Chain A
């Protein structure tokens, strides 16, 4: 039992939603794409678009092949009104002349100012089915990677035979069968119900398994996809009641449903006879069987009322019927083979397109090769006579023979161009039912044979697939420090920085800044990239990578370093601590770690030094404890001598802090006395908690990224990527002292020498705003004539200094203390003064205290 438009519909075990609806008397299943013509079951095997409905909110489900689910809610789609009375059916009656293919490029162009209206309307009627962009995922989709020695696509007799053959040879064989009802005799192979969507290089075959996309890698692929029945092209060939033999077979033999009362069979091959037998078995009166291979019928016209077949007219002879079975022959379903690289050729003797030159590792068996397909009479499938109603070549996109003729007249005489212009074969059936008919129409209109017309390129997917299945399960990797959950518990506003999650602040930026200046603050800097560089050549290696010196450093000392690219541009920065004669500890920016590791490994491979590089970024948590009371705090949790003599500014010391082995780096990114503690990650929370508790009476406070940005700006410490870009170099970024151009060589030296020789063009400077408004980052620096000459890279209100400070790139001639420039703000101009020395503690007395 399920519901259709809110009404209950009974179903039997083994029914599909479509068969149950048909048994319940439903004949109109959908409204067509463009003309909103009523459509009923045509292929009944999941190929055509005629039975697409919305099931439990999922649009475009082919109900003829969708097994019944108790309680499912089924709704028709592409309908304004009801299936029986669709308001947009007016396009069928009147729209003809106004809506040829590509009409949206021509008829709705003028007047131009009405386009928004047209667009709104077109958007509302375009496409099939509705999705709610704000809806939750309707169901779960997964991707699963599998392997098979031999993958057989198609579980028919030929596929089964091939599977048995390969299994007997000892291969692990998987058979993929897309028809959920096809009986496959169990054998020495694995059966997977699903649809192979395509064949990619490396034997990759994704299989649509409903809720799981199986990505098969197969050493060998056997294609046994069989053949697809083709419709005839005549006026009224889309009326409800016109079916392919397969549909009759299914309704009668699979579900014991009587498909109609009075039937006519028109066939060009053997399939008609089988359908006739089925109809008779079901008690349908067969009013006539016309085999076009023997009989010549010049004109077939289907007549109907309200889109439902009432009679068929054969060369003027009218026969009342409610069912017309048409068979235009069977065409090998070669798409997968073509994707795999096979050539498709026309075989005139059988009037079929057949695959040839099957690539290595791929086999074709059964009807897909063209074997065993009885020759049809292709000339009879389309007689060129419309004029008595629309002859549909493509029911998915509502393309008629007239549309194709018009396209030819307009010069789209190649089948590939015509495909793009008319969209024939681009609908949900993916050409299964329209590719061959369109070629036949083209051949006839161009007075040539189908072989000269040729086929269009077969592309994946070989069947419609939901976007949800292709997207799979969303996986968005996030890096979290080992203190992450404490930040959240403390009310940290978490933000993304690269793929890291970090606290922006804990709610009060100013108070956090003041804690660092007035007492002690601490910030989680575990996100810093961390590398161990060790080996006999470590010093030489770093000397050659960085513009400044590291060989003359004493063990236990730290130096700031800026990495340059070959072209002398700033790449990353960080601190380098020498731990022993041949071991250095290098930190990088949070988002630059990966690139720096690669950079180091690349150059080490190029130079061939005896150096080992180990990325220990995640292995170490890091906490920066900073502020005038930082020493008091640290002294309480360690036996290490943390006096100014014990650990001086830019010293690196090792010892136990709160019982955890620690590397203590005395550095001052935020401008106050500070210690960066680096220790094994698993103790992140423990260390954080211990410091917070121990420092409570000292006024300790955690601070986030935003307060850190204010603090570093007071010191004019740059942020690579914020204050610099891909064109910045150390000389113009006001760090000329770092480039030791007298060194033998280092990465970027030549480029920096060039900068030195050509002289400064622009310079990174600090500035203060005169009237206290914070300019936007990226804002323009202008001079008197209102000419833009530079840009603001950072700007903040400093609660400590009680003014707005920032950094900016300005022309070299403005790079002197007190120089004036203007910043564009809300259309106006605010005055700023250049500062070259740090705003806070310019002599670094507090840092060194």
Chain B
């Protein structure tokens, strides 16, 4: 693992350090349709990512030379180490917050992205986000964590509004 950028990796903290999600407070009373998935390993990988072919990792391909690799948070160091052998890697685990939401209609009210053509990067309630589709009704969003509280509130509000 690159020592130079160790301070970017939340998984390098000792166990007594308390990890806290930016969505935590906004989702304290949120509807069941929303799940906080911020505690995920997220790696910005650059290089010949087209050649990166593995079923063991979730790869969100942005361009042939750029991808967002997602993994279990506890595996971040291991995955990062492996990828660094071949690629330029920046750990975005703390940079991006993650949120899973159920409901296609809710998503339609938050983004003008074509939901048939995911994953994609685009605006979700004015915030640039990676948007992934897990199944017909389940979506995952990864976006700058500083917008976490705002976006969690907006998504919870949209779920609420869709019920009315």
Contact = CB atoms under 8 A, between A and B. Distances in A.
A binds B: yes
A618 B144 contact: yes
Interface in A191-233: 211-212, 215
A133 interface: no
A327 interface: no
Contacts of A658: 17
B88 A534 contact: yes
Interface residues of B, number: 55
A202 B157 CA distance: 30
A680 B161 contact: no
Interface stretch (A140-148, A263-271, A290-298): A140-148
Contact of B145 (A146, A662, A681): A681
A630 interface: no
A423 to B, nearest CB: 35
Contacts of A480: 22, 146-150
A682 B20 contact: yes
Q: Which of A145, A485, A656, A680 has the most CB of B within 10 A?
A: A680
Contacts of B150: 476-480
Interface in A220-249: none
A477 B125 contact: yes
Interface stretch (B51-59, B78-86, B109-117, B131-139): B109-117
Interface string A461-502: 000000000000101111111101100000000000000100
B22 A681 contact: yes
A483 to B, nearest CB: 10
Nearest to B95: A619
A661 B88 contact: no
Given A144-B105, A680-B7, A477 B13 contact: no
A532 B5 contact: yes
Contact of B161 (A473, A478, A532, A579): A473
Given A619-B92, A619-B95, A682 B10 contact: yes
A678 interface: yes
A654 B7 CA distance: 7
Contacts of A475: 125-126, 154
Contacts of A142: 109, 158, 161-162
Interface stretch (A159-167, A344-352, A508-516, A683-691): A683-691
B71 interface: no
Given A477-B147, A482-B22, A583 B5 contact: yes
Contact of A140 (B4, B88, B108, B161): B161
A84 to B, nearest CB: 38
A170 to B, nearest CB: 16
Nearest to A481: B146
A616 B125 CA distance: 21
A477 B10 contact: no
B21 interface: yes
B91 to A, nearest CB: 8
A567 interface: no
Given A679-B7, A681-B95, A473 B157 contact: yes
Interface string B96-122: 100000000100110110101000000
B148 to A, nearest CB: 8
Contacts of A140: 161, 164
Interface in A133-183: 140, 142-147
Contacts of A619: 8, 91-96, 145
A484 to B, nearest CB: 7
A475 B147 CA distance: 12
A145 B111 contact: yes
A680 B146 contact: no
B25 interface: yes
Contacts of A580: 4
19 contacts: A142-B109, A145-B112, A473-B109, A473-B158, A485-B25, A583-B4, A583-B5, A616-B8, A619-B94, A619-B95, A654-B6, A659-B13, A661-B6, A680-B8, A681-B94, A681-B145, A682-B21, A682-B145, A683-B13
